[in-house]
Structure 1
């Protein structure tokens, strides 16, 4: 039924919009009797303490619930931090994050992603193998497998080694494969002389290593890893993480490796 509407609460002291909501019937009046401890309730109480009442206006009417949710989210996104809404509304994943208009974001401004990748060097994985045979990998469990399967052809990764720093930038050439299927110039990777024990659990789909072919744009050895402490660089012991909202890390990487991600991601 088209009986939903979207409404706004306005502070009569400065005519600032401070809350958006959607509903039907008398929903728009419910907040006047809200006793919860929230910024919205405190704002209403401040207005009443000044001898006034909040101005309540309907922004859009005769909507389906779906349309009302979308209108509400659009208004929440547009006004952002100036509002007292606790929830950011439905369709959050469809809107770019606030304060990112100065950034080029994957999925919004380009389709290729820029990702942090943790090498996670251990008895299975070895940075020398990655550099020599042009691949990256992770495995030994479903969540690590799924992280590798999340890389798409054309994505870029920044390789990090825990305790050392950033050691390379690469372009993903193909989606991940189980290590038993991965070949290097036509020869199975598992037949190569490897420093890491990539063959461990290779017959078990959930615990095998999963491997992506890459083209290294920049790469350095462990001793020359790029890092600077106490400046807020992003580093986590996880296989894959987006760098979309890490401008200081991106700036550091561009300087350290002498690259331009805006050019690479075109």
Structure 2
């Protein structure tokens, strides 16, 4: 019943994932209950506990994750065509997320979500242990109540989903990982919502419109160096973080509320909504260029996460090239 409810209304699972498969055949005798995709192309494997023991469902989810890790763009498109016949994954992705699907970004990382009414203490320890050590795994607790002929649904996460998103965003495909180089990647969505020239003038980066876009800003601490890319235009700046993430309502410029000074929207309509509000991180810029002069070369790293700390060789080579282009040591 819960699986039917999620398929009918995926937002009860997450408002920021798009379902792309149901009862996906792994080819070795197992079926993944639900498969979803995040705005950055991360795949989300969802397993319902059903009547299995907690340890069994954790083990099975990890087994399925080993299969998901090997999926390429064509495999994912095939899964979606079986889930939604005669529909285009690329077109539906764009309709859901307002951005084009980059085939190179599909399944660069993945995360596991176990859906259960309850979980024993041992299994909770296992999930926390795995997540603490870099495997993006979480548990979503659902309970269904009958009230006056209606069914009410409550949910709670075992681990803050923002933390698990960060784990997934920091990952890389099997065989492609290397030690993180200490440099943060930032995606700055410059459009009617936010303006790059204002970010340069007043010293900030920002993200919002959903917790998926603002959660990763929490990764940044004072002193961190960030390389900022505007999707579709290239890298436009490098700077140092000077303070923590704050909401649009809290962010100030020269002692005044920022939204009294800034002209772009910055999700003002959601100012009081902690999930959809815009969040800001102050930055002291080292070097910036205008949008039309963004640096974009073949093979450079790109990702839709607002912030991530990539561990792929592509990120190391990208930063080394950008240091030369921006004259930064």
TM range (shorter): 0.5 to 0.7
Which of 197, 212, 216 pairs up with 1:143?
A: 212
- Residue of structure 1 in register with 2:201 after alignment: 132
When residues 198 and 244 of structure 1 are mapped into structure 2, their CA distance, relative to the original with a 3 A threshold, is same
Q: Measure, in 2, the Cα distance between the counterparts of 1:258 and 1:238.
A: 26
The TM-score with structure 2 as length reference comes to 0.44
Report the CA distance between 1:93 and its aligned residue.
Answer: 4.7
Is it true that 1:218 corresponds to 2:287 in the alignment?
A: yes
Q: Measure, in 1, the Cα distance between the counterparts of 2:132 and 2:187.
A: 30
1:144-183 matches, within 5 Å, as: 144-183=213-252
When residues 252 and 186 of structure 1 are mapped into structure 2, their CA distance, relative to the original with a 3 A threshold, is same
Is it true that 1:120 corresponds to 2:189 in the alignment?
A: yes
Structure with the bigger RCO (C-alpha within 8 Å, sep 6+) is 1
Q: Measure, in 1, the Cα distance between the counterparts of 2:199 and 2:261.
A: 12
Report the CA distance between 1:123 and its aligned residue.
Answer: 2.0
Q: Is the 8 A contact 2:184 2:225 kept in 1?
A: yes
Q: Is the 8 A contact 2:209 2:267 kept in 1?
A: no
Count of equivalent residues: 160
> Which stretches of structure 1, 4 residues or more, deviate above 6 A after TM superposition?
97-101
User: What's the CA shift string for 1:175-225, capped at 9, x where partnerless?
Assistant: 100010000111110110423445231111111100001000110101111
Q: Measure, in 2, the Cα distance between the counterparts of 1:243 and 1:148.
A: 14
Q: Is the 8 A contact 1:129 1:196 kept in 2?
A: no
Q: Measure, in 2, the Cα distance between the counterparts of 1:142 and 1:258.
A: 34
Q: Measure, in 1, the Cα distance between the counterparts of 2:253 and 2:318.
A: 32
- Residue of structure 2 in register with 1:39 after alignment: none
Which of 265, 277, 283 pairs up with 1:208?
A: 277
Is it true that 1:192 corresponds to 2:261 in the alignment?
A: yes
Q: Is the 8 A contact 2:208 2:266 kept in 1?
A: no
1:11-90 matches, within 5 Å, as: none
SS of structure 2 residue aligned to 1:218? strand
Q: Measure, in 1, the Cα distance between the counterparts of 2:214 and 2:177.
A: 30
Q: Tell me, which stretches of 5 or more residues in structure 2 are unaligned?
A: 1-129, 136-171
Q: Tell me, which stretches of 5 or more residues in structure 1 are unaligned?
A: 1-88, 107-112, 261-266
Moved more, 207-216 or 141-150: 141-150
- Residue of structure 1 in register with 2:302 after alignment: 235
Report the CA distance between 1:90 and its aligned residue.
Answer: 11
User: What's the CA shift string for 1:96-154, capped at 9, x where partnerless?
Assistant: x99988x6x46xxxxxx421101112221111110111111001111222111221111
Report the CA distance between 1:243 and its aligned residue.
Answer: 3.8
Rg: which structure is higher?
1
Q: Is the 8 A contact 1:164 1:226 kept in 2?
A: yes
SS of structure 1 residue aligned to 2:269? coil
The TM-score with structure 1 as length reference comes to 0.54
